[in-house]
Amino acid sequence: MIRPAGNIHSMITRFLWRAFKARYRDQVAEMAVIKLSVRPADIICDIGANKGSYLYWFSRWVPQGRVVAFEPQADLAVYLAKACTALGLRNVLVEAKAVAASSGNLTLYVPGTGDSPGASLNAEIAARESCRTVTVPVVALDDYFEPGAKISVLKIDVEGAELKLFHGAKRILTEQGPVLVFECENRHLDIGTVEDVFQYLRSLGYSGEVVRDGKLHPLQGFDAAVHQKQTGERFWDAKDYFNNFVFRKAAA
């Protein structure tokens, strides 16, 4: 087992720095939606938790509930568990697993030589850049959670596996209608487009918004041909490139 570099104090400092940067600078709109969508005894899922930018806040917002963080990169899962323990975030459970359409084992493609925020279950990523592969356990959310579990939010960053994840959570999406805060980009998908993801969610009664300049805007104003244009170096850093979405289900 590889332990996180540095001592506990520096680990906590980095963890909290990422948390405050996410809430007050980088994911302002997303954090605001999530905070308003949860009750103290709810369940929040952080799927593709990576280095845990959301976990500190999630733990505070559901003090009588629980947070389940799915992170298939084993070293990152160890880091998250240690950081949450050090901070006393006792309602956070870290699962060293990916989330997909069905439960079992799959290949995770990890760019570079270390842990990566770009790790993906989609083989398409390996065609674009050098990746190492590792077999990881995967779960479908409908298998993982018992029927009736009060799941209020799914925060999702799975580098192109969004539609498969939603297929594996159809019961939860239908019965519980959690708020969905997720990244979705054509460049990460091995088949189909972001519109296929949106259309599946619409079929389950959801409607969406896009995060632009730190605020929510109607999804009707989003055009992947314009707002996810794949031209130029580091096109994903362009000012008019948008990849974060919020989908909510209308109250019955």
153-200: per-residue pLDDT in tens? 999 999 999 999 999 999 999 999 999 999 999 999 888 999 999 999
Structural domain contains residue 69 = yes
Inter-residue contact 76 to 50 (CB < 8 Å): yes
Mean pLDDT of the chain: 93
Which of these, 106, 125, 223, lies nearest to 164 by C-alpha position?
106
Residue 3 forms part of a structural domain: no
User: Considering the domain boundaries, does residue 191 fall inside one?
Assistant: yes
Closest by CA to 80, choosing from 37, 18, 141, is 18
Report the CATH number that the domain containing residue 172 is assigned in CATH: 3.40.50.150
Using one digit for the tens of pLDDT, what is the confidence trace for 43-66?
999 999 999 999 999 999 999 999
In a domain, 1, yes or no: no
Model pTM? Answer: 0.94
- What are the counts of helices (DSSP H) followed by strands (DSSP E) for the chain? 10, 11
The reply to whether 2 falls in a domain is no
List the domain range (segments joined by +) for residue 220: 8-249
Does residue 46 form part of some domain? yes
Instruction: With a cut of 60, say whether residue 5 has pLDDT above it.
Output: no
Domain count, the chain: 1
